[in-house]
Structure 1
């Protein structure tokens, strides 16, 4: 081989090597933050890169970091269904933060773990444990996100109930009360119950019976009553009217997810009932 031919052979070999390197796409590093947790990850599928071209040790660190973030997320939100816990508010805030972003990262992580199984090193080192743990953590994280979405919906429903209460009260008053109600008549037009158990019964003449959770009901009189009107007020009658008010007709603030579900439809009549039971 002469000098020129050797030079062309070397240049050609380098070109092939460079072409092979250029064909390997590299997924850019991204960072995801959730609360105090951070994790660097790559979206290999999104970048159309082959995860098997990654350096195994670095890849193991990346996948482990995402598993660690999910572990911290689950630990930090475990009290999201326990309003009595001192960590409840913090859990709810983290769920809200995660609700708009975590699922996208979980989808990327799931794709990475699935693509990893095609690599020659998938069954070696820490990768089997990383895959098993990651799969379990993703399932738990998605369940926690779904739980959080329901709780956020409940919180929103409770807020809307409070906002709409004055209008519902006014509508009930216009429906059931006379224009000039008589003091002492104990005409009750509206009752509401809050999630903390406290209840109010409103009367057309301006009186209100209030009861806190576990407490005895008490009567509150409107301001400016004359002494003649005060003589007409018989507290036991108001308390009796409040106690007799049907619980199912109260305006209740949603206290649980079950309260958000519409009532089940009535069963369709059978042939026997349609025919009058004969």
Structure 2
């Protein structure tokens, strides 16, 4: 009787260990990125063995995630070219990926490592799935590593564009505030100053004159177009240059930080 009970206990223990070794497949997770979709299972997270999975299912799941990663990598290949017509759309895709893709990459890498321990790893499409998966996870992580810099530059360009558009309106408002309807030629009255995206600065005068200073150069006087000879005699360029030098630096309309040198005061 003792022998029989011992055998029964061993059989029960074996059944228990067998049940633990073949855990049920984890639930399918659905993921989307842009226009791409992929269904997969987190075998490692559920402490399940992908080698126990139905091979066709495992192949389909790994292939689906590989395909999604390939479309992400290919769909963000113009991030370094802000002039590309695809750049805004690719920036939005990168933003979405930065928020949602890292956990999917973690799961995919665990599943690929699990596949490497399976007896069928060298059969059918699995070798190519594994090779391609390694390449794509590395490429996708590379894209995500660039995300902070790319998105910061995109935000700066958007801020610069907004500043440029609004600066024209600020200039018009300043002219209406500080200039008379018929300003006298020769009166060096600055109504607006702007530091541009390239670092140069312009000072605008009510009579249409300007003082212009490009980055790294001396300021220069620019007279209005179409001046009559008698009006030209009234203009004294040194007065305009002096007015530009004395214009308060804090009142210069500047491009968003990072686009031009901080100092906008002209060289005396």
Q: Distance in 1 between matches of 2:209 and 2:33?
A: 47
SS at match of 1:101: helix
TM-score by length of 2: 0.61
Larger deviation: 99-108 or 14-23? 14-23
CA contact (8 A) 1:116 1:122 kept: yes
Shift of 1:236: 9.2
Q: Is the 8 A contact 2:42 2:107 kept in 1?
A: yes
Distance 1:238 1:69, change over 3 A: farther
- Structure 1 residues 126 and 206: CA distance shift in structure 2, 3 A: farther
1:109 aligns with 2:112: no
Offset from partner CA, 1:86-116 (integer Å, 9 cap, x none)? 2111111111111111121111111111121
Q: Which residue of 1 aligns with 2:88?
A: 89
Instruction: Determine the structure 2 residue equivalent to 1:31.
Output: 30
**Any residues of structure 2 matched to 1:59-98 within 5 Å, and which?**
59-98=58-97
Moved more, 62-71 or 146-155: 146-155
Q: Which moved more, 1:48-57 or 1:15-24?
A: 15-24
Residue 145 (structure 1) aligned with residue 119 (structure 2): no
Alpha-carbon distance, 1:20 to partner: 3.4
Whether the 8 Å CA contact 1:219–1:238 is kept in 2: the answer is: no
1-side partners of 2:209 and 2:143: how far apart? 42
- The verdict on how the C-alpha distance between 1:206 and 1:134 changes in structure 2, with shifts beyond 3 A counting, is farther
Unaligned runs of 5+ in 1: 170-182, 212-216, 221-229, 243-248, 260-278
Question: In the alignment, what sits opposite 2:203?
Answer: 202
C-alpha distance 125-208 of structure 1, shift in aligned 2 (>3 A): farther
Counterpart contact for 1:70–1:138, Cα < 8 Å = yes
Q: Is the 8 A contact 1:190 1:202 kept in 2?
A: yes
One of 190, 193, 196 as aligned partner of 1:193: 196
Q: 1:100 to 1:206 in 2, by over 3 A?
A: farther
Gaps of 5+ in 2: 171-185, 213-220, 225-231, 245-251, 261-268
- Residue 126 of structure 1 corresponds to 125
Question: Which structure 1 residue ranges, 4+ long, deviate > 3 Å from structure 2?
Answer: 12-23, 156-163, 183-191, 197-200, 202-211, 217-220, 230-242, 249-256
TM-score by length of 1: 0.59
* Residue 34 to residue 241, structure 1, CA distance change in 2 (3 Å): farther
Aligned residues: 216
Displacement of 1:129 after TM fit?
1.1
Cα distance in 2, alignment partners of residues 210 and 136 from structure 1:
56
1:24, distance to aligned residue in structure 2 (A): 2.7
Conservation of the 8 A alpha-carbon contact between 1:186 and 1:204: yes
Structure 2 partner of 1:45: 44
